[in-house]
Structure 1
Amino acid sequence: MTNLDLAQEARLAFSPLTPDDLESVFGVYSDPDTWQHLPVGRHNTREQSRRIVDDAIKSRREHDIGQWAVRVGDQGSDDSLRAGTFIGTGGVNMTPALVWNLGYRLSPTTWGRGFATEIALAAVAAVRAKSDSVAITARVLSNNPASAQVAVRAGLRKVWAGPTMAAAAAGITGEIFSDRDLGGDALRWLIENV
């Protein structure tokens, strides 16, 4: 599976993020409830959301994989979620450290349904189908144990914990997960950007 094709999972549909998704991305990323773990991350302008779309397009153009637009699939619909509803973004982008960054941002109305795990598993499978030579990583704040659990379910393990560079509340640390040991420039970049 590549993100260049519409990929149907059991309950989700993935497609490449495009400029046409900008308003939907902004709708999720500007929702303060989406940023419970890092309130300062909330998007206040569409330009911030445009960078999400642009980064996904760049990763896809240069590395054949980039974050997806995530919508409810036919098997995921119910009375509160209709098939085709945009619920967020997810997948992987290539980082400047030349490791994959696994991430997702979903509307809080969809939390608790296992969608993040489905996205993470599909992203790991997409990367491994392309090549298993590049590390898959995830950066998580310590006040977000649910995201740490998703990383572990996707086959990553914690390889570092320490101070975060994010503008997080006092006492919150950063955690880095990876599917393999990391070192050198890659680990340094991740630590500087957790």
Structure 2
Amino acid sequence: MRLLLSAFAPELGPLAGNPPPGWETATVGVGAVTAAAATARLLVERRPEAVLFLGTCGRYDARLALFDCLWASEAVATSLEEVQGGAYRPGLERVRWESTLPGPLAAHSVAVPPAITKTAEGAARLASVAPAEHLELTGVFAACHGAGVPCGGALVVVNDVGPDAQAQWKANHAEGSRRLVEALRESGFFGRG
């Protein structure tokens, strides 16, 4: 069995009530810490052979277009305060987790800050880390890496990071999730053994 995760059920799109054969679905909540704890629990309870996280994300700049679907090559824990030089992490703290599950979509790094960035200036600064922002992926990847379970993340861009992000996300997340599932189905990803 393989496990499809999302922060909340609508981000599973049409797979929420109808996962592909050999897959099960679950949600892990919003934010990296909550997602890490829920993913770790699900790995123990369900013992999947692989995990795929499906979700929405925001773009920092024009490297990605609205409704682009991407494969997270790595999830990077970061913050605006770190990028601006006002904070740092101890040298022993891990901040990058790579995808260990090959995927069919264009690969991009994904920044995972502790909260949604709401200024254009913040988005411009965080663009030096990755082209996209997401909130759960470091938690999911960290739990999977810790358990030795292959993991990947498929995301769809539904908003520009900045002051209008929430309104754009509300307007676009359902359509984006539908498009992401469609792209994965068309690639044949769910038919792989």
TM-score, normalised relative to structure 2: 0.29
TM-score, normalised relative to structure 1: 0.29
